[in-house]
């Protein structure tokens, strides 16, 4: 791995914030690296407040959206809350629909079928709205590029409100309102909201318009925090506030559907990481293996016993998803080796019978082995569909734009995207994409990077230090869990390989000044022999609590090891 030590802030700034909030200089340096360099910023960071959420009416078209919804409520119009089939989309639909149902009974939900309709707004969904007398569609986590779909709906007398967070194209759909903080003409102060976050701003605006307070919307924040975690958006600004209070809601008073999922996994207190790796995959599994409606039904269920039954069904979807993921990943890796594509700048694989619901996961798995911008294709009707994943620092969305002549449709983010193309264009696309990446990617981006916040000594790692460190949570993009470097450690002689296949490394270390500490290095057992023989070694790690036999102690979660020079 490529070790990159971040620049340490100036001593002046470090000492200033250390004195202002009475913390040691290591904590102060971590804060300044995150842009927390004044007392006021530190107060907002450590003590998030819902009062610091921005006025939702600062978002372009928000007043138009609220006015149209109020008109629909007044006239008893039927409203269809429409959203994508992933976690962000299903949580957004659950949030907006459950809120609107407190104001009117004329609300239904619609999640497109991943396989029959594909991503985003579909003609089939609009036909459903027409057939069932819906005059207003509220699209969440999709729609920003649905120009032709909105025109189709307009001809049928159906209005659209779009709540999206993806990059707009050159033209916006001619909807009643287009809520997207990434619009060039939108002056909203924070543009990193997820789709569910934009949905929350909509209900915040409706509530405000009716004289309500944001505090009354706390019960919806478990959904927002789940979406923030799953969509890997920066946990800064408003996202940090929403995630903070959303996690409180998840751990103290979650809605029956989320409570049922937690009950299934039997875990008491969840972190953002737990939401990412435990809750989100289960919600996603519904749309991947069966239909996203199952997730919405679970997340809007008001009876806990019924929710538990639904959660059991979703657990089965998740088990099936994991089995498929494992099988397809093995097939994809074999395909790469057989075709001798290990030296390429990209990884592009295709098999017609791969399950569309797991190709995004498989793309991420392939990056773990071949660290390259990756696309995994499968057959979807008369076209090929792909999930794209990128490596840190490389914008795969821009790369795909340069291949647009081969693509029928695509959308997404810097690091993840989806696309469709005609089968006859596959080979041409594959060659062109390889060439685009080869020309534009920096060589260093093809080696996994581990970003290190600070170099510290083992003696710095105390229970008090860790207690303050935990208060930097919730962690996520742009506020990652701090990663540290310590040099010149020695093996005490008690380090050993662990795990059923002895692939992990349990380290027992001592520093030059005699301070001992334990660490665990997952999949790092290959370093065992050199550590045992070495005079000293350097480690990159995070700090965590280890609970064993009723005792709690600090241990290091070791990310990489090098012999000291």
**Within-domain flag for 324:** no
Same domain, 345 and 260: no
388-432 per-position pLDDT tens digit: 999 999 999 999 999 999 999 888 778 889 999 999 999 999 999
Same domain, 181 and 153: yes
CA–CA separation, 342 vs 281, rounded Å?
Answer: 29
305, 256 contact by CB (below 8 A) = no
128-181 per-position pLDDT tens digit: 999 999 999 999 999 999 999 999 999 999 999 999 999 898 999 999 999 999
The CATH number linked to 398 is 3.10.310.30
Choose the final residue of a domain: 446, 476, 506.
446
At 117 the pLDDT is 86
Of 376, 372, 342, residue with least CA distance to 356: 376
For 381, other C-beta atoms within 10 Å of its C-beta total 10
Residue whose pair of structure tokens reads 């229970």 in the numeric block: 463
Torsion angle defined by CA atoms of residues 318, 323, 324 and 326, in that order, rounded to the nearest 10 degrees: 120
- CA-CA distances (angstroms) from residue 283 to 194, 196, 299, 412? 16, 14, 9, 20
Phi–psi pair at 42, nearest 5 degrees: -65, -40
CA–CA separation, 332 vs 359, rounded Å?
Answer: 10
3 state DSSP class of 521: strand
pLDDT of residue 440 exceeding 90, the answer is yes
At 290 the pLDDT is 86
Of 160, 164, 189, residue with least CA distance to 174: 160
190-230 per-position pLDDT tens digit: 999 999 999 999 999 999 999 999 999 999 999 999 999 99
pLDDT of residue 549 exceeding 80, the answer is no
pLDDT of residue 548 exceeding 80, the answer is no
Residue whose pair of structure tokens reads 């450690």 in the numeric block: 489
At 535 the pLDDT is 84
**Within-domain flag for 333:** no
What total of structural domains would you count in the chain? 3
SS (H, E, C) 82-136: EECCCHHHHHHHHHHHHHHCCCCCCEEEECCCCCCCCCCCCHHHHHHHHHCCEEE
Give the residue numbers spanning the domain of 131.
56-313
End-to-end CA distance of the chain: 17
DSSP H or E segment with residue 449: strand 449-452
Same domain, 380 and 270: no
Same domain, 40 and 61: no
For 181, other C-beta atoms within 10 Å of its C-beta total 22
**Within-domain flag for 499:** yes
**Within-domain flag for 397:** yes
Of 231, 282, 288, residue with least CA distance to 415: 231
Same domain, 150 and 90: yes
3 state DSSP class of 480: coil
List CB contacts of 503: < 8 A, sequence separation 6 or more.
497, 522, 523, 525
3 state DSSP class of 293: helix
CA–CA separation, 546 vs 504, rounded Å?
Answer: 16
Q: Average model confidence (pLDDT) for the chain?
A: 94
Same domain, 63 and 22: no
**Within-domain flag for 322:** no
CA–CA separation, 495 vs 497, rounded Å?
Answer: 7
Same domain, 459 and 442: no
DSSP H or E segment with residue 441: none
The CATH number linked to 220 is 3.90.1640.30
CA–CA separation, 320 vs 313, rounded Å?
Answer: 11
59, 166 contact by CB (below 8 A) = no
**Within-domain flag for 320:** no
Same domain, 152 and 246: yes
255-301 per-position pLDDT tens digit: 999 999 999 887 888 999 999 999 999 999 998 888 999 999 999 99
More confident residue, 398 or 115: 398
Same domain, 459 and 535: yes
pLDDT of residue 35 exceeding 90, the answer is yes
Q: Label residues 44-64 b or e (16+ Cβ within 10 Å = b).
A: bbeebebeebbebbebbbbee
**Within-domain flag for 319:** no
**Within-domain flag for 534:** yes
Same domain, 134 and 147: yes
At 345 the pLDDT is 96
Choose the final residue of a domain: 266, 297, 313.
313
pLDDT of residue 125 exceeding 80, the answer is yes
pTM: 0.90
Choose the final residue of a domain: 275, 297, 313.
313
At 116 the pLDDT is 84
Same domain, 146 and 257: yes
- The long-range contacts involving 400-405, CB below 8 angstroms and separated by at least 24 positions, are 400/433, 402/432, 402/436, 403/429, 403/432, 403/433, 403/436, 405/432
DSSP H or E segment with residue 214: none
CA–CA separation, 25 vs 30, rounded Å?
Answer: 9
The CATH number linked to 25 is 2.40.50.460
What would the mean pLDDT of 15-39 be, rounded to a whole number?
96
Same domain, 212 and 158: yes
């Amino acid at each position: 791995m490529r070790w990159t030590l971040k620049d340490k802030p100036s001593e002046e700034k470090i000492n200033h914030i250390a004195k202002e909030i009475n913390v040691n200089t290591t904590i102060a340096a971590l804060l300044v690296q995150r842009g927390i360099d004044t007392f006021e910023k530190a107060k907002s960071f450590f003590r998030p407040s819902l009062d610091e959420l921005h006025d939702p009416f600062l978002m372009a078209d928000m007043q138009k959206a609220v006015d149209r919804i109020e008109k629909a409520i007044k006239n008893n119009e039927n409203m269809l809350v429409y959203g994508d089939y992933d976690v962000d989309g299903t949580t957004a639909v659950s949030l907006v629909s459950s809120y609107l149902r407190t104001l009117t009974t004329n609300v239904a939900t619609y999640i497109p079928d991943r396989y029959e309709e594909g991503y985003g707004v579909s003609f089939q969904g609009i036909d459903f709205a027409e057939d069932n007398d819906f005059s207003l569609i509220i699209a969440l986590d999709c729609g920003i590029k649905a120009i032709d779909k909105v025109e189709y709906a307009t001809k049928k007398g159906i209005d659209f409100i779009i709540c999206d967070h993806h990059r707009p194209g050159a033209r916006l759909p001619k909807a009643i309102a287009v809520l997207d903080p990434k619009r060039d003409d939108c002056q909203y102060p924070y543009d990193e909201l997820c789709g569910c976050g934009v949905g929350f701003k909509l209900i915040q605006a409706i509530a405000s318009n009716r004289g309500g307070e944001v505090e009354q919307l706390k019960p919806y924040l478990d959904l927002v925090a789940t979406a923030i975690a799953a969509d890997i958006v920066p946990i800064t600004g408003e996202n940090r506030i929403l995630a903070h209070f959303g996690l409180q809601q998840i751990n103290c008073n979650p809605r029956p559907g989320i409570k049922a999922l937690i009950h299934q996994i039997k875990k008491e207190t969840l972190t953002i990481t737990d939401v990412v790796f435990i809750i989100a995959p289960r919600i996603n599994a519904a749309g991947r293996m069966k239909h996203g409606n199952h997730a919405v039904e679970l997340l809007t269920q008001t009876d806990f016993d019924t929710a538990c039954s639904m959660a059991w069904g979703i657990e089965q979807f998740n088990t099936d998803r994991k089995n498929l993921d494992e099988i397809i990943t093995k097939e994809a890796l074999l395909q790469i080796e057989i075709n001798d594509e290990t030296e390429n700048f990209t990884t592009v694989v295709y098999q017609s019978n791969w399950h569309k619901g797991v190709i995004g996961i498989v793309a991420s798995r392939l990056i773990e082995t071949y660290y390259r911008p990756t696309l995994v294709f499968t057959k979807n009707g008369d076209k090929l569909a792909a999930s794209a994943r990128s490596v840190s620092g490389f914008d795969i969305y821009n790369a795909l734009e340069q291949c647009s002549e081969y693509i029928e449709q695509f959308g997404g983010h810097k690091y993840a995207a989806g696309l469709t193309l005609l089968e006859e264009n596959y080979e041409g696309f594959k060659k062109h994409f390889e060439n685009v990446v080869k020309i534009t990617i920096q060589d260093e981006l093809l080696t996994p990077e581990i970003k290190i916040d600070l170099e510290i000594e083992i003696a710095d790692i105390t229970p008090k230090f860790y207690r303050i460190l935990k208060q930097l949570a919730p962690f996520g993009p742009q506020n990652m869990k701090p990663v540290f470097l310590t040099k010149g450690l020695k093996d005490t002689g008690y380090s050993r390989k662990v795990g059923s296949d002895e692939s992990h490394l349990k380290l027992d270390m001592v520093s030059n000044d005699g301070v001992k500490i334990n660490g665990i290095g997952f999949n790092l057992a290959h370093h065992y022999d050199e550590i045992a023989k070495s005079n000293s070694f350097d480690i990159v790690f995070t700090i965590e609590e280890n609970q064993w036999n009723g005792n709690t102690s600090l241990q290091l979660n070791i990310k990489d090891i090098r012999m000291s020079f």
